[in-house]
Amino acid sequence: MKVLIIYAHPNPMSFSHAILENFARGLREAGHKYEIVDLYKTKFNPVFQDMDSAFFVDKDMPRDLFQQMDMRAMIVGLAGNPLKRMIARLYIRNKTDDDLIELINSQKPKDVLQQQKKVAEADVLVFITQVFWMHFPALVKGWMERVLTYGFAYKLDERGWKGDPDGRVPLLKIKKAIIMQPAFFNEKIYREKGFRDAMVKTIDDWSLKYPGIDNVDHVLFHSILSVSAETRKKYLESAYLKGKEL
């Protein structure tokens, strides 16, 4: 299988990096192909910006909603200085709605398109990063927000456009997702205070299962700063087996 690993940690000596190395070793021994996207090394920009909105303009969106969004004004407003705004206004003056949608779609950020190509070619999607505020760090969360977009990860039917979450149409063909995260608190805290359930709901169910990845394996390596060296060794063996037995 082809595995895409989204990895994020600024320290190459971190336990997250050790998890990455052991998981990759297991993949190699099992004969799987894999690619690592190191979000720090590649300097991926996690901030959703104006041009990212191009992914959410699609020919199948209700036309009344498209007209309500006033894309003509947006195109002119984003053009830049007064001269560029005047040129943009003249350029789109006789454009149809379909022409405007095509124009907006042509402005999709290339860094996102590159990431989407990697996801589309993968059989398994893996996230290796630490827990931040009971979620992913901002860098990984931003990757998800920018990459798992409308028209790529999901679409909406008539119910969805009216605000019903059951109106989302999943598009991802990924067979499985694996999440491995070192965590500060112990397993009892995660279970009794509902932290684990909250992470499963927001990351596993909403962010990954909803766009079509039915099989999500989310592993937390608890109390990473206080467990024994033997426990850490077991954690790394577990990461290795995740790759070896995939």
Q: What are phi and psi of 23, to 5 degrees?
A: -65, -45
Exposed / middle / buried, residue 154 (Cβ in 10 Å: 0-12, 13-18, 19+) = middle
Q: At what angle do helices 15-30 and 229-244 cross, to 10 degrees?
A: 40
Dihedral angle at the C-alpha atoms of 137, 143, 148, 151, nearest 10 degrees?
150
**What's the pTM?**
0.91
What are the residue boundaries of the structural domains of the chain, listed by start? 2-49+110-244, 50-105
Strand (E) positions, 99-182? Answer: 124-129, 154-156, 168-170, 176-182
Distances in whole angstroms, Cα of residue 183 to Cα of each of 125, 151, 222:
20, 33, 5
Report residue 231 CA to chain centroid gap: 30
Contact 202, 135 (CB under 8 A): yes
Decide if pLDDT at 180 tops 90.
yes
Q: What is the average per-residue pLDDT within 168-192?
A: 95
Residue-wise burial string across 191-209, b where 16 or more C-beta atoms lie within 10 A, e elsewhere: eeeebbeebeeebbeebbb
75 against 131, higher pLDDT? 131
Q: What is the average per-residue pLDDT within 26-37?
A: 98
Q: At what angle do helices 110-121 and 138-147 cross, to 10 degrees?
A: 90
Decide if pLDDT at 103 tops 90.
no
Which residue from 54, 175, 58, 172 is spatially nearest to 120, judged by alpha carbons? Answer: 172
Q: What is the average per-residue pLDDT within 58-65?
A: 79
Poorest-pLDDT segment among 68-72, 103-107, 178-182, 220-224 = 68-72
Q: 154 has which bridge partners?
A: 150, 170
Contact 56, 84 (CB under 8 A): no
The per-residue pLDDT for range 114-167, each reduced to its tens digit, is: 999 999 999 999 999 999 999 999 999 999 999 999 999 999 988 988 889 899
Decide if pLDDT at 222 tops 80.
yes
Classify domain 2-49+110-244 by CATH architecture.
3-Layer(aba) Sandwich (3.40)
**What's residue 18's pLDDT?**
97
Q: What is the average per-residue pLDDT within 41-57?
A: 91
Q: What is the Cα–Cα distance from 222 to 216, expressed in whole angstroms?
A: 19
